Every structure is written in C-alpha cells, then in structure tokens.
C-alpha cells in the first residue's frame, strides 16, 4: 500500500461549528462552509432581484404615459435611485459572490475558502446593509433621491434637516457593502492564488477562476477609492465639511472622479465572471475545447488593467478639459480589443460545434448576442462627440441595461441552471427553464431595444414626465418590463419545485469537464477531502479523449457511489 507523504491536516479549513445544524436551518445560521454561504448569497440576492424588479416595474408603470400620473416626481426620484442601488449592491454583487463561493473551491479542488469565518462575516453584512437600505423607505423624507451616482451637490442637500436621512443611510449601506466586498475579495484572491489542486498551474485553471480573480482584483484596487469618496461625501452631508461644496471652496467634480474610478471598473467586476460562465457553458454544450484558451485567460487581466484607466468617459460632459476627453476616448476604445478577443474566441468555439440547446446554453447564446450589441453601442458612447450628444439620455440607460441585464443577468441565470444540479443534487425542469428563457429574452429585448431610439431622439433620463413624441417607445418598453416580471414566475416555480422534488442528479449530468464535476452532487462538506486530484491536462479537453486528472476513474466511481 502506498503511503502519502503530505499532511492532509494542512489542507483542512476550520470545521463548521460542532453541532451546527445539517438541515435547511444551516442556511439561516453563521455557517462557515463555502457551499452553504454560496447558497445563502444566491437566495438572498434573488429575493432582492424581486424587490429591485418591483421598483423597476413601478418606474416603467409611471413611464407608460407621458405625464407624471402614477407616482409623485419626488417619489419617482427615490424609486429609480433605489432600483439601481438594490440591483447592484443587493442583487448582482451578492449573486456573483455566491457563485464564487460555490464554484471557486470546487473548481480548483480546495476544501473551502482560505478564510471561512471572514467569508461568513462578509455574507452576514449583506442582510445588515439590506435592512439599512430598506429602512430608508420608512423615514421622513424617504430614501436617497440623487440617483445611484449620488453626485454632489444634489446628494449633500438635506432639506428636512434631520441628522438621519435617506442619503445618509444610503452612504452607510454602500460603505458596509464595500467592507463586505473587500472581505470577499481578499478571500477569493487568496484562495485562487494559494489553494489550487496539485498540477493546476495558472494556465490549467478554469476560466471562471481567471475571470473571478480579475474581477476581485478590481474590487481590491477600485473599491477603496469609492470608499474614500463616500467618507468625504458623508462628512459633507452630516458633519459640515465642504470637500464637494463649491460655496465652501470644494470641488464637486472630484467626487465624480472618485466615484467613476471605481464604478466604471465595477461593471467589469460584474461582467468578467459572466465571461467566465460563457467560456464554461459554450465549451460544455458545444463539445469543443475553448478556442485560444491562453489568450482568453490573459485578456481578462487586459480588461482589468484597461478598466482602471477609462473612468473619465463618464464625465465627458461635466467640464472635463479637452485633452483629457481625447486621452480617455482612446483608452475606452482600446478596451474593445481584449473583449473582442474573448468574443471571437467564443464564436470560434461555437463554430462547427454540435450544439445542445439546453436552458443554460440558450441563456448564454442570448447573453452573448446582447453583449455584442451592447459593445457596439458602448464604442459609440465612448466617442466624445456622440457622448456629448446622447449623454444623460435614454440611449445611455439602454446601453447600460443591455450590458447589465441583457448580458450579465442572462449569464447569471445560465450559471444558476448549469450548476443547479451540482449543488442541490436535483435536476431542474427543462421545459420551465426554456419558458423562462423565452420570456426573459423577449422581455429584455422589448424593454431596452426601443429605448435606444427614444434616447437618440433626445429623451432625457431620470424624469417622471416626458414629451408625448416619445410615448410609443415607452409603451413598448413598459410591456417588455412587465413580461420580465412575468418571467420570474416560471423561474421561481422551477427552482423551488425542482429543489424540493426534482429528479436526483448524477454527479455529471452534462458530461462536463472540470474538477467540480468529479464530485458527488451535492458535494460533501470538504469537497475532495484528503484525496485532492492531480491535474494533468488542460481544461475544456472536450472531444480529445484525455483525462483531465490522474486516476480520473477513481473520482468518477467515488462520486457515483456517494
């Protein structure tokens, strides 16, 4: 019998608290298991997708007719501000952190995250700042109304004079969200850098890990800048300083620099993991190795680098000097190169593949199509003359939602379906999944495609009433938004019923390649425990007939027996 000369104790993360519940109650407790935390994140964030979606539907209900008749314009300002904030800080960031928690340790063969307790603390900050943000609906003066940018001097107005006001709660919530994200980022980066399975060099790592690594690097570099700006804004609002108050010698444009230095890269924090999901899903359902794996992997960090030097393109029309506009126009255009590398690699992967149009594949194909469209309007917006013309119109809103919803959220849905059998141990219902896709794709196209025209014709954003000439585009958009609302029904039905009584899932229902598929469904608490596989081949070896890890049969057999 062979004896191993490495000490498995080194691998072990701290165990879950002894006596911690093993049933559904563990999802309501301070649990340090990354797979429990991942599901906690995803469930919480999907709940807030409903909240944010409801806010969006009130907004679209208001905009279905030109006059401001459904809600008061002041309430309307609060609604779109909170819609944006909820969707970004309570839906997208948490849902992606949830996927990171589920996928990173299982994909690299680690037993858990590097810092399990920090991980749980990061999650439990989410409900705390969620309560803060929701509480702002019920205080005098209502929630923050300055838009999700929270630009001064609008955001440092405090007309009612209360010390505790909607804007202040907003800033505190954003600060807590930042702390939570930093905790998460430290954890994810350390885990990826230090806890990979033997033989898994960086260029044998799945692309989801590459993209998550890049995204979390952005968090670590960008988020502190926003935190710095938010602290100064909070001081201006509540403690009488005048950093951003022009009448006190301050400079409101400086806040915009702080804000966009993070918030532009923040889009890449969200889109990069979705690029990873695309790479995983396209290879799996096209049964082909990823075209140009190394370039796709390295392009992730090309995007990270470029994303940090383009932020001024959000400020072309806010008194930016001309040389700065030209400079940042060029950097903005450059970012189309690494993203283009990825898009061409996916198309080349799909080309000539034997496509299986399952729900995750459909979501990814739809997402890719929308992303290409959003990329084209993005290049348009990066051009100074066009941006000055359409800045602050619905063209920007439409472009932004094409990236955030039509590409990113579709990718997130794809991931939820693709890995659902792995982490719940049950198959989802394909029919309901396809219905969800059709409703989502039709809804999101109807919602945001027409708004490009409204924007080009000059409809300004953030207004409760508008010129009747834009009415037709808004009616179509509102119908699309309500279809998206209906799309939630098959999704919820599918998730709840298939987790409760769906057919049992085999370890690898899709015939996918990757360490996570060598584990039982659902994986045991410490994943591979003491028998971590040794990686011997590149990822995505579809159709090559070579095992990805040494002794692959052992792992397949063990997963099936479990």
Partner 1 sequence: MTSSDSSLQLNHTPGHVKHSGHNLTGFVIFLCSESIIFLAFFAGFTIFKLTSPEWLPPGVDGLDIKMPLINTIVLVSSSFVAYFAERYLHKGNLWGFRIVWLITMLMGAYFVYGQYVEWSNLEFGLGSGVFGGTFYLLTGFHGLHVITGIGLMGLMLYHSFRPGNYDKGDMGVTAVSLFWHFVDVIWIILFVLIYVWQRY
Neighbours of 233 (CB within 10 A): 27
d(CA 500, CA 415): 20
| Residue 199 Cβ vs partner 1, minimum distance, rounded to whole Å | 7
Closer Cβ to partner 1, 4 or 322, answer by number: 4
Closer Cβ to partner 1, 199 or 292, answer by number: 199
Q: Label residue 353 exposed, middle or buried (CB < 10 Å: 0-12, 13-18, 19+).
A: middle
Closer Cβ to partner 1, 477 or 532, answer by number: 532
**Nearest alpha-carbon partner for 301 in 262, 328, 335:** 335
Closer Cβ to partner 1, 102 or 225, answer by number: 225
d(CA 312, CA 22): 50
d(CA 458, CA 391): 9
Chain residues that interact with partner 1, rule: CB under 8 A: 1-2, 4-8, 10-11, 114-115, 118, 182, 185-187, 189-191, 193-195, 197-199, 220-225, 227-229, 231-232, 235, 239-243, 248-251, 254, 258, 261, 531-532, 534, 551, 554, 557-558
3-state helix, strand, coil in the chain (%, to 5): 70, 0, 30
**Nearest alpha-carbon partner for 381 in 323, 456, 446, 324:** 456
Closer Cβ to partner 1, 244 or 400, answer by number: 244
CA 57, 366, 207 angle in degrees (round to 5)? 115
| Residue 281 Cβ vs partner 1, minimum distance, rounded to whole Å | 29
| Residue 142 Cβ vs partner 1, minimum distance, rounded to whole Å | 27
Closer Cβ to partner 1, 254 or 333, answer by number: 254
d(CA 399, CA 375): 8
Closer Cβ to partner 1, 216 or 505, answer by number: 216
Closer Cβ to partner 1, 109 or 490, answer by number: 109
d(CA 386, CA 348): 32
Closer Cβ to partner 1, 69 or 531, answer by number: 531
| Residue 331 Cβ vs partner 1, minimum distance, rounded to whole Å | 18
| Residue 330 Cβ vs partner 1, minimum distance, rounded to whole Å | 22
Backbone angles phi, psi at 535, to 5 degrees: -80, 130
d(CA 292, CA 176): 39
Calculated CA dihedral for residues 334, 336, 337, 338, nearest 10 degrees: 110
Closer Cβ to partner 1, 183 or 278, answer by number: 183
Tokens 């014709």 belong to: 457
Q: Would you call the peptide bond into 153 cis, given omega within 30 degrees of 0 as the criterion?
A: yes
| Residue 254 Cβ vs partner 1, minimum distance, rounded to whole Å | 6
d(CA 103, CA 512): 14
Closer Cβ to partner 1, 469 or 531, answer by number: 531
| Residue 264 Cβ vs partner 1, minimum distance, rounded to whole Å | 15
| Residue 110 Cβ vs partner 1, minimum distance, rounded to whole Å | 8
Given a contact cutoff of 8 angstroms between Cβ atoms, the answer to whether 56 and 481 are in contact is yes
DSSP string covering 514-537: SGGGGS-SSPPTTTTTT-PPPB-S
| Residue 203 Cβ vs partner 1, minimum distance, rounded to whole Å | 16
CA 29, 31, 33 angle in degrees (round to 5)? 150
DSSP state of 509: T
| Residue 2 Cβ vs partner 1, minimum distance, rounded to whole Å | 5
Given a contact cutoff of 8 angstroms between Cβ atoms, the answer to whether 445 and 487 are in contact is no
Given a contact cutoff of 8 angstroms between Cβ atoms, the answer to whether 416 and 367 are in contact is no
| Residue 440 Cβ vs partner 1, minimum distance, rounded to whole Å | 36
Calculated CA dihedral for residues 122, 127, 131, 133, nearest 10 degrees: 60
| Residue 554 Cβ vs partner 1, minimum distance, rounded to whole Å | 6
Given a contact cutoff of 8 angstroms between Cβ atoms, the answer to whether 387 and 71 are in contact is no
Closer Cβ to partner 1, 75 or 552, answer by number: 552
Tokens (6 digits) for 3: 């004896």
| Residue 236 Cβ vs partner 1, minimum distance, rounded to whole Å | 8
d(CA 555, CA 103): 18
3-class state of residue 115 by DSSP: coil
Closer Cβ to partner 1, 67 or 198, answer by number: 198
Given a contact cutoff of 8 angstroms between Cβ atoms, the answer to whether 76 and 142 are in contact is no
d(CA 423, CA 409): 20
Closer Cβ to partner 1, 219 or 279, answer by number: 219
Neighbours of 247 (CB within 10 A): 7
């Amino acid at each position: 019998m062979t004896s191993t000369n490495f000490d498995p104790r080194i691998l072990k993360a701290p165990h879950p608290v002894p006596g911690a519940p093993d049933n559904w109650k563990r999802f309501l407790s301070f649990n340090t298991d990354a797979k429990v935390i991942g599901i906690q994140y995803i469930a919480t964030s999907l709940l807030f997708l409903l909240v944010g979606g409801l806010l969006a539907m009130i907004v679209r209900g208001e905009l279905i007719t030109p006059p401001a008749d459904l809600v008061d314009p002041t309430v309307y300002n609060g609604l779109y501000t909170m819609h944006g904030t909820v969707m970004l800080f309570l839906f997208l960031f948490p849902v992606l952190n949830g996927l990171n928690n589920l996928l990173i340790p299982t994909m690299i063969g680690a037993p858990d995250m590097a810092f399990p307790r920090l991980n749980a603390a990061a999650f439990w900050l989410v409900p705390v700042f969620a309560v803060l943000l929701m509480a702002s609906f019920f205080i005098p003066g209502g929630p923050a109304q300055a838009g999700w940018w929270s630009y001064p001097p609008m955001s440092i107005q405090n007309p009612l004079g209360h010390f505790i006001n909607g804007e202040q709660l907003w800033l505190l919530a954003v600060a807590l969200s930042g702390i939570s994200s930093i905790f998460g980022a430290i954890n994810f980066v350390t885990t990826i850098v230090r806890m990979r399975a033997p033989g898994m060099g960086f260029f044998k790592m799945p692309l989801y890990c590459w993209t998550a690594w890049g995204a979390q690097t952005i968090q670590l570099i960008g988020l502190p800048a926003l935190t710095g700006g938010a602290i100064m804004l909070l001081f201006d609002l509540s403690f009488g300083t005048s950093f951003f108050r022009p009448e006190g010698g301050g400079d409101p444009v400086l806040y915009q620099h702080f804000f966009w230095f993070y918030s532009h890269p923040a889009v890449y924090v969200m889109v990069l993991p979705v690029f990873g999901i695309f790479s995983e899903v396209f290879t799996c359902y096209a049964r082909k190795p990823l075209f140009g794996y190394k370039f796709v992997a390295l392009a992730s960090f090309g995007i990270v680098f470029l994303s940090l030097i383009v932020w001024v393109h959000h400020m072309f029309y806010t008194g930016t000097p001309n040389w700065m506009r030209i400079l940042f126009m060029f950097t903005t255009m450059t970012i189309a190169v690494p993203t283009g590398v990825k898009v061409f690699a996916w198309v080349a992967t799909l080309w000539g593949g034997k496509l299986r149009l399952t729900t995750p594949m459909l979501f990814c194909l739809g997402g890719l199509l929308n992303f290409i469209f959003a990329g084209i309007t993005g290049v348009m917006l990066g051009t100074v003359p066009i941006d000055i013309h359409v800045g602050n119109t619905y063209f920007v809103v439409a472009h932004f939602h094409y990236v955030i919803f039509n590409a990113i959220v579709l990718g997130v849905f794809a991931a939820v379906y693709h890995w659902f059998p792995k982490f719940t141990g049950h198959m989802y219902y394909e029919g309901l999944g396809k219905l969800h896709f059709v409703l989502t794709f039709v809804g999101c196209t109807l919602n945001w495609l027409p708004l490009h025209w409204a924007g080009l014709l000059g409809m300004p954003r953030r207004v409760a009433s508008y010129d009747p000439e834009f009415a037709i585009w808004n009616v179509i958009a509102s119908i699309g938004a309500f279809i998206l609302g209906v799309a939630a029904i098959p999704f919820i039905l599918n998730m709840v019923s298939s987790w409760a009584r769906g057919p049992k899932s085999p370890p690898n229902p899709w015939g996918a390649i990757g360490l996570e598929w060598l584990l039982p469904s659902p994986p045991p608490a410490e994943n591979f425990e003491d028998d971590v596989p040794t990686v011997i081949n590149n990822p995505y070896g579809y159709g090559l007939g070579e095992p990805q890890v040494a002794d692959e049969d052992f792992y397949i057999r063990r997963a099936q027996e479990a």
